[in-house]
Structure 1
Amino acid sequence: MAVETSPVIGFIGLGVMGGPMCRNMALKHAGDVLAYDMNSSAFEALEGTKARRMATVADVAAAADCVFLSLPGGPQVEQVCLGAGGLSAGGRRPSTIIDLSTTAVASARAVAEKLAGAGIDFADAPVARTREAAQRGELSIMVGASDAVYARIEPMLRYIASDVTHCGAVGCGQVVKLINNALVFEHTMALAEMMVLGERSGVQPAVLLDAVSKGSGDSFVLRNHGRKAMLPRSFPDKAFPPEYVLKDLSYVLELAAQTGLAAHVAELAQRYYAATATEGWSGRYFPAVIEIIDRGIGPAKAG
């Protein structure tokens, strides 16, 4: 009887989220885990694990069965998957590529179509929740894939997530992730406005959040972004900055235009976070939007 072996996992992109995700895979997967990042210091996240550092993307493609990507956006995913020296360029290719990044829906579907022509299955599987959740292996993942591909990759996604949802065919994972992110960005903006209003009307922000958290206004954004960032006015570097918000909102608005929806709330959020990025909080944690609201310095009004 043949002995079933564990697939060799490749992982490309060891950033704020990718590093801890790859670490969890290396600690939990029975087979080999091969890692690549352009930044040599990124491999520090894998110290003490069996993950092996690879020199190039092509080296990962030549040895891995399934390759996970955690990259800044659609252009990088397209380059790694389809470009010269990319995952589909060599004679030996992975059977499946799973993209954990957040990209435009149209980009995910176009990449999947081109990879299919090279005999490679593709799933978009963007992740949600915080860096701390990534470290604990408790992310939420929204997957766009065929039933067969989902069945094959779901056990590996469980290495890094406590919640995995099959949202539909390729692209549907990105649809759900973008909607999730837009709701967070919009709610953060709305909460910031009400925190400023409450304080100017004589209610201390901590008291306001405590009281609202006991009523129907409670939310994840209040308990996390409100309490941990907006209340102390702490907006560190190397968190999720307004520039990343704007990238995701551009994808949301692109999808809205493609579906004929006038997404006015998302458009308003785009103006607020554009002001956040240009008025002193570039590169800082995006709940800094409260400073824009408090100081009355943005956003530009709709025409």
Structure 2
Amino acid sequence: MATNAVPVIGFVGLGVMGGAMCRNMALKHAGEVIAFDTNPKAFEVLDGTQAQRVGTVAEVAARADVVFLSLPGGPQVEAVCLGPEGLSGGAHKPSVIVDLSTTTVASARQVGAKLATRGIAFADAPVARTREAAQRGELSIMVGADASLYGRIEPLLRYIATDVTHCGDVGCGQVVKLINNALVFENTVALAEMMVLGERAGVQSAVLLDAVSKGSGDSFVLRNHGRKAMLPRQFPEKSFPPEYALKDIGYVLELATQTGVSAHVTELAQRYYTATASKGWGGRYFPAVIEVIDRNIGPAQCATDAKA
């Protein structure tokens, strides 16, 4: 990617988050934006923009200077980056690949190292915040890259984010993103437990949230997941389900094992979301964990039964 020219942007993966991000890039970038997804309907999100649709990953590789990825996880990222029909498999290659997905730290570092041998710079740049934030171009992005590469891609990331943080070398973006997500999932379980406790002790949840939000117990989870999902008990499909939470928690626990950390709180959260996914709320928005707690069918009840 030439530093003194407008790069051609490629984008692979037009899902819930990726489609919104690609749309913002297509609306704001002065140069070409080309996009690929395996689902033909996914391109509808780009209607009204100058983005160009292509039929293969190889076409993206042949035309783009810098390629952004928004994919389900590490295996998909590895296949798109390193596979024979992927971005580095042909004669023409992009100079930079930026992965906006959430993967394991080990996967990010392995992909980065292998791409470096093929002359392609790599950054892991997982995104945080909601689908609505993605649509508004107000995401938070945590970047793992060397300082030189970060300086080159940071202006492009500003098309989709209001906050961009350089966290360190390749893999460090994933470290911060996974910790961020673990804190959200753990805080959601704790808030759900306290909302149920408050209700059974005679305090309405709306009153509880209002009061706690004015004190030191306030949090992003309280103001968003608590008020918007757990209070009305609305857990729509096609949002972030417990299965996705479990994927990220698994990544966190893998990293904890690799670094010698005993992540007991994260392990407890894993048990709660496993119960949420398997006992009636699979595919629903993950704050449905409050239903598991309210019905005493989660890990806490299992522990009680074990002592009986």
TM-score where L is the length of structure 2 = 0.96
Counting only pairs closer than 5 Å after superposition, residues 31-110 of structure 1 correspond to structure 2 as: 31-110=31-110
What amino acid maps onto 1:267 in structure 2?
A: E
Distance 2:303 2:122 in 1: 41
Q: Is the 8 A contact 1:150 1:166 kept in 2?
A: yes
Percent identity between the two aligned chains: 77
Seen in structure 2, the aligned counterparts of structure 1 residues 172 and 4 have a Cα distance that, compared at 3 Å, is closer
Which residue of structure 2 lines up, in the alignment, with residue 288 of structure 1? 288
Aligned pairs (5 A) from 1:216-235? 216-235=216-235
Cα distance in 1, alignment partners of residues 229 and 36 from structure 2: 32
**Structure 1 residue 4: Cα displacement:** 4.3
| Superposition pairs of residues 121-270 of structure 1, within 5 angstroms | 121-270=121-270
Distance 1:173 1:4 in 2: 27
How far apart in 1 are the matches of 2:281 and 2:114?
A: 39
Cα offset, 1:217, TM superposition: 0.5
CA contact (8 A) 1:5 1:31 kept: no
Secondary structure of residue in 2 paired with 1:150: helix
Residue 9 of structure 1: CA displacement? Answer: 0.2
Q: What is the one-letter code of the residue matched to 2:102?
A: T
| CA displacement at 1:262 relative to structure 2 | 0.5
Q: Which amino acid aligns with 1:222?
A: L
State the alpha-carbon separation in 2 of the partners of residues 301 and 99 from structure 1. Answer: 40
**For residues 186 and 298 of structure 1, what CA distance do their matches in structure 2 show?**
14
Give how far 1:84 is off: 1.7
Distance 2:165 2:23 in 1: 22
Task: State the alpha-carbon separation in 2 of the partners of residues 127 and 99 from structure 1.
Answer: 10
Shift of 1:274: 0.4
- Deviation of residue 298 (structure 1)? 1.1
Q: Equivalents in 2 of 1:187, 1:4: separation in Å?
A: 45
Q: What 5-or-longer segments of structure 2 have no aligned partner?
A: none
What SS class does the counterpart of residue 214 from structure 1 fall into? coil
Amino acid at match of 2:294: D
- 1:145-204 C-alpha deviation (Å, 9 max, x unpaired): 000110000000000000000000000000000000000000000000000000000000
Question: What is the aligned partner in structure 2 of residue 29 from structure 1?
Answer: 29
Cα distance in 1, alignment partners of residues 23 and 109 from structure 2? 28
CA–CA separation in structure 2 for the residues paired with 1:148 and 1:156: 14
Residue 231 of structure 1, CA deviation: 0.2
Cα-to-partner distance string for 1:111-163 (whole Å, 9 max, x where unaligned)? 00000000000000000000000001000000000001100000000000000
CA distance, structure 2, for counterparts of residue 205 and residue 236 of structure 1: 20
Residues 265-280 of structure 1: pairs in structure 2 closer than 5 A: 265-280=265-280
Scaled by the length of structure 1, the TM-score of the pair is 0.98
State how far apart, in whole Å, the 2-side matches of 1:33 and 1:274 are: 40
Secondary structure at the counterpart of residue 167 of structure 1: strand
Query: What secondary structure, in the 3-state scheme, does the structure 2 residue paired with 1:166 have?
Result: strand
Q: Which runs of 5+ in 1 are unaligned?
A: none
What letter is aligned with 1:279?
K
SS of equivalent to 1:254: helix
Map of 1:111 onto structure 2: 111
Deviations 1:68-93 (A, max 9, x none): 00000000000000012000000000
Specify the code of the residue in structure 1 equivalent to 2:181: N
**1:25 Cα offset (Å):** 0.2
Q: Distance in 1 between matches of 2:21 and 2:146?
A: 23
Equivalent pairs counted in the alignment come to 302
Distance in 2 between the 1:156 and 1:246 partners? 31
